[in-house]
Amino acid sequence: MTQDEMKQAVAQEALNYVVKDTIIGVGTGSTANFFIDSLATIKDEIKGAVASSVATADRLKSYGIKVYDLNEVDEISVYIDGADESDKNFNLIKGGGGALTREKIVAAVSKQFVCIADESKIVKTLGEFDLPVEVIPMASNYVKNKIISTIGGSPSVRKNFVTDNGNLILDIKGLKIHNPKSTEKTLDSIVGTVTNGLFANRCADIVLLGTESGVKRL
CB of 97 to ligand 5RP, least distance (A): 3
Task: Assess 95 for contact with ligand 5RP (CB under 6 A).
Answer: yes
- Nearer CB in complex with ligand 5RP: 106/143: 106
Q: CA-based Rg of the chain, rounded to a whole angstrom?
A: 17
Stretch that binds ligand 5RP, among 65-73, 91-99, 162-170, 174-182 (CB under 6 A): 91-99
Task: Assess 106 for contact with ligand 5RP (CB under 6 A).
Answer: no
Residue 66 and residue 150: Cα distance in Å, rounded?
43
Task: Assess 82 for contact with ligand 5RP (CB under 6 A).
Answer: yes
How many CA within 13 A on the CB side of residue 101? Answer: 17
Residue 79 and residue 57: Cα distance in Å, rounded?
14
- Given the residues 13, 103, 134, 184, select the one marked as catalytic: 103
Task: Assess 210 for contact with ligand 5RP (CB under 6 A).
Answer: no
Binding mask 35-74 for ligand 5RP (x = CB under 6 A): ----------------------------------------
Work out which of 11, 80, 86, 96 binds ligand 5RP, going by CB under 6 A. Answer: 96
Residue 99 and residue 94: Cα distance in Å, rounded?
8
Sequence-distant (≥ 6) Cβ neighbours of residue 117 within 8 angstroms: 7, 10, 31, 82, 83, 86, 207, 208, 209, 210
Task: Assess 99 for contact with ligand 5RP (CB under 6 A).
Answer: yes
Instruction: Examine the residue annotation and report whether 103 is marked as an active-site residue of this protein.
Output: yes
The CA–CA distances, whole Å, from 53 to 90, 139, 165 equal 22, 23, 10
How many CA within 13 A on the CB side of residue 55? Answer: 13
Work out which of 13, 18, 29, 127 binds ligand 5RP, going by CB under 6 A. Answer: 29
> Running DSSP on this structure, what letter comes out for residue 119?
G
Q: Using CB under 6 A, list all residues that contact ligand 5RP.
A: 27-32, 81-84, 94-100, 103
Q: Which residues carry out catalysis? A: 103
